[in-house]
Each structure stands twice: as structure tokens, then as C-alpha cells.
Structure 1
Amino acid sequence: MRYLKFPHLPSSKVTHVLLDKRAYNKTVYLLEDSKINIIFCEKSDDVYDAISSHPDIFYFHYENNLIFAAPNSPEKTTRELCKLGFNIIFGEKNVSEKYPEDIGYNLARIGEYVFHNFEFTDRIILRHIEKDNLKKIQINQGYAKCSILIVNQSAIITSDKKIYRKALGQGIDALLIVPGFIKLEGLNYGFIGGCGGLIDRDVLVFNGDIAKHPDYEKIKEFLKKHKVEYLCAEGFELSDIGSIIPLCQQ
């Protein structure tokens, strides 16, 4: 078992993922059938219910075995990450219910690039980013990781026009899809980045049926272009679960 050098970008078959405990059973079975161990993100009462067990709200996998966690991240989940050998560094501030107090850890790192609204990034994370000279890509969208589905180190899918333009400007291939059509209980809709994650260098999993999305054909062709296959919970509406976060690989 090895840790991922870069978050969300496995170089081989994934052995462990971090997953919202409310993911579809079919998604859970799909991961288990792929011999993947699951650490479930438990529910927190400190944020609103729709995101209360979203791992990308409480945790930011920075690199290798380093994870930044909100001080009020779910205790059981954090203990399980420690058991896997992760070095958990707690941030400066808790996440809480009112926006933008819930976005401090919802960054999207794509290789050496980090997308976020850095006005609200937890300051301990921000210091590490600046110390390591990672390239900060400033965006208005606070839910950066939710909004970005990472396909590989040079390709993403998003419904946010500004993220789309910023990505292209950095030489990252990007597919812009229509917003909506993704379930997030209690809210109008969720985001494409929160629906899935890579479980191998070239295999992406969706929580729900990607064929139900109106831009399915575009998404399918984009994944084909980048030689990425996909698995999904067929028959179910796409649902935002705060990303499927790969942790370890073979």
C-alpha cells in the first residue's frame, strides 16, 4: 500500500477511499467489488445537513500521507485516517454552518495547481501552499473541490464558467457542462466534482448514473479523449457526496 503523491490522482489501483456515509449502496458495492476499502465520513452537526458528511468539507488531502482537517472534523473518521498512517494536521478554524465558514478546507489541488477562494482558505493550509510554492489559482467559487471533477493531472470537468476559463488559461483541458441535474438534499442542486473520483489512473467512479446527465455525450467523449473509463451507480440520479477521495493505492 502506498499513499498518493498528489491528491485525487492515483497512479495505480486504489486500495482505500474516503466516502460520505450517505453514498448510494450501489456505489458502496461497486467500490467493494473493486476490492477497495472504505473509510466513511461520519455526520457532523456543525454544518448544514446537505453537506454534513461530505469529506471534502472537513478534509483536504494535501500530498502523500498529509491531510489537513478541520479541528471539528468527525472524530471517528479522523481516527480511522490516523490508523491508516495519515499525518493529520488540524487547521486553525472549525467549519460551521454559515457560508463562507464552511469552505476553508474545500480546495482542489491538481498537481502543482491549487484552486480556491484564498480569502477564506484556512491559514495553516495557506502557509503550506505558499511555503511549497504551489501555484494558487484564485476563484470566486468557495466550494472549489465540489465544483471540479479531476479527470487527470491536465483535465477537469466543471459547470463553473470562471473555473473553466482559469483552467484553460493554465493549460489544463476543461469541459464546461450545464449546471444542475445533480442531487444535493435540501438545496437546488449539487456539483459534478462532488459526484465522483478516480479509483485508478484511468478509472473514474460516479455516485449515480452519469447517463442521466443532459451533457452525458459530451462527458463520455471528454473521458474517451483522455483515455479514462468510468463506472457508475446505474439507474440512480447523480448525487453530490463531497467527492470520492482516493487515499491509498497498490
Structure 2
Amino acid sequence: MCDRRLRQSVNRAILSIKHPQFAASLREYGYEIIHSENIPCHMPYERDHADLQCLILDDTAFVLSCCTRLFEVLSRDYHVISCGEGFTGSYPDKTCLSAVTCGDKLIGRIASLDEKVKAYCHDHEIELIHVNQGYAKCSCVQIAENAVITADKGIIRVLRNTEIDVLPIGKGSVRLDGAEYGFLGGASGYDRDKHILYFCGDIDRHPDSESIKRFCEIHHTKVISLSDDELTDIGGIIFC
């Protein structure tokens, strides 16, 4: 899949405003911050999750129709497509943009993905890889064009039948206020242009930190912890 993005390099990050310390750290690394929006029909702990509000594929950004500010901001540099008309906020409807790009593949729950996303993939020869997990983006940590980290056994099982390298980790060890635990994908963001993986919190506090760091090193990805706090699921960081 060729890179059709209009921007020559990544220098902006979309993320939740609820944890300003992570935005402050990213600013120190030179990023302009775009705050995600608040979606009242979502559960309280995910109303501001960026990975449920937009999906960027090359030069095209898919944005929930209710996220008018995100639509306007991203329109400056991307072809933006409004999605989720008739959006109810129930599961799996709410995961219509929750997918992971790996090279010329898109990983997600196909039945839940927005029809416009599926049409784009068909037109641009992007292979759709089906997983049962609707929260595919939140459940996976992308660390390279062909490598992810996840605790989801179903995703692990599917990806082992592809050329995508996958590192299995244990569940939990990620904070998500209002829920039993969060997902590591929601506590991270991968800047594909700089080959840097940022964690919202200290990755050394995760039980699988050593294997995670080794896996990233194998795939030539630098790891940066944005704070010394516990890892926190904020709905991920989307670089654009």
C-alpha cells in the first residue's frame, strides 16, 4: 500500500484531554496536540477515546459525524470522510472505526467497520483481516508496519496465520478509570514516520515490559514512556 498522505511528516497527535500530563510530554517532543471530543452516548470511561472517533488511512481520515471539530481540523491536511451516520454508541456499533493498519492490511471486526472504510479498503487493495474483538485498535499495540503486541487470544490466533509478527502479553496492568482494566493499545501510540512507540505511563511497570522492549528493539522501534505513572488507557494516541 503506497503512502498517499499529504503531510510529509507526522507532527501532530490526537489524544484525550482528561490526562493532560501525556499531552504536555508530547509537546516537549515537538508535537502539536489535537484533543479528541466528548461523545455523551459512550460509556463514561471511553467518551473521549480518540481510537473510537477517527481512523487515518494514508491521505484519508474517517471521522465520526458527531466529531465536527476533529472533522474541521483534519480537513486541513486530509481528505476527510464522515462516518457513523445513525450512530448509537452501543457495542459493537461504537467500534466502527476501531481498526489497526499493518502495511497493506487492516485488522478489525469486519461486520462492525463503517461501510465507507470497507469500500475504501476494497478500492485501494487493502486486505481486511477479521477478528472478533470490536475494540481492535485499543487491543493492539502497533510497533511496526508488520508487528503488533496484544493480550487478545483471538487476535493472536488470527495473526499467527498471517505474516504479521505478534507478541502475546498478559491481560491487565493498565488503568482505565471506571473499568476493571484497560488495554495496552489504548495506553500507547505509534509514530510510524519516526519509528517511535509512546506509552501513556511507564512501560517498566508492566509485567511483560522486558519482552515488550525486546520485541520493539527487534523491529527497530524506539520506546518512550511519557510519564513515571502507571500505564493508563486514554483511548490511544493517533499521530497525523
Q: TM-score, normalised by structure 1?
A: 0.88
Candidates 203, 223, 240, aligned match of 2:196: 203
Change in 2 beyond 3 A, CA 1:165/1:244? same
Residue 224 of structure 2 aligns with which residue?
A: 231
Q: 1:162 aligns with which of 151, 154, 161?
A: 154
1:117-162 Cα deviation digits (max 9, x unpaired)? 1111111211221222211111100011111111001111111112
Q: Is the 8 A contact 1:6 1:111 kept in 2?
A: no
Q: Which runs of 5+ in 1 are unaligned?
A: none
- 1:228–1:92 Cα change, 3 Å: closer
How big is each residue's C-alpha offset from its partner over 1:28-65, in whole Å with a ceiling of 9 and x where there is no partner?
2221111111111122212111111111101111212x
The reply on whether 1:116 has 2:112 as its aligned counterpart is: no
- Matched to 2:181, the amino acid is Y
Matches within 5 A, 1:48-87: 48-64=43-59, 66-73=60-67, 75-82=68-75, 84-87=76-79
1:246 aligns with 2:231: no
Higher mean Cα deviation, 55-64 or 136-145? 55-64
Which SS does the other structure have where 2:94 is aligned?
coil
Determine the C-alpha separation between the residues in 2 that align with 1:157 and 1:24. 25
Give the deviation of 1:6 after TM superposition: 7.6
Distance 1:166 1:242 in 2: 23
Report the Cα offset of residue 94 of structure 1: 4.4
Alpha-carbon distance between aligned partners in 2 of 1:202 and 1:232, rounded to the nearest angstrom: 14
Contact 2:63–2:70 (Cα < 8 Å) also in 1 = no
**C-alpha contact 2:26 2:226 (8 A) present in aligned 1:** no
In 2, the alpha carbon distance for the partners of 1:51 and 1:232 equals 22
Q: CA deviation at 1:178?
A: 0.3
Greater RCO, CA 8 A, separation 6+: 1
Q: 1:150 to 1:40 in 2, by over 3 A?
A: same
Match of 1:47 in 2: 42
- Name which of 137, 146, 154 aligns with 2:129: 137
Matched-pair contact (CA < 8 Å) for 2:65–2:85: yes
Query: 80, 83, 89: which one pairs with 2:81?
Result: 89
Q: Secondary structure at the match of 1:217?
A: helix
- Post-superposition offset of 1:91: 1.7
**What secondary structure, in the 3-state scheme, does the structure 2 residue paired with 1:102 have?**
helix
Q: Distance in 1 between matches of 2:45 and 2:219?
A: 32
Give me the whole-angstrom Cα distance separating, in 2, the residues matched to 1:95 and 1:218. Answer: 39
Once the two structures are TM-superposed, the CA of residue 245 in structure 1 deviates from its matched residue by 0.8
Q: 1:48 to 1:128 in 2, by over 3 A?
A: same
CA RMSD of aligned residues (A): 2.1
TM-score, normalization: structure 2? 0.91
Supply the distance in 1 between the matched residues of 2:9 and 2:213 (Cα, whole angstroms): 21
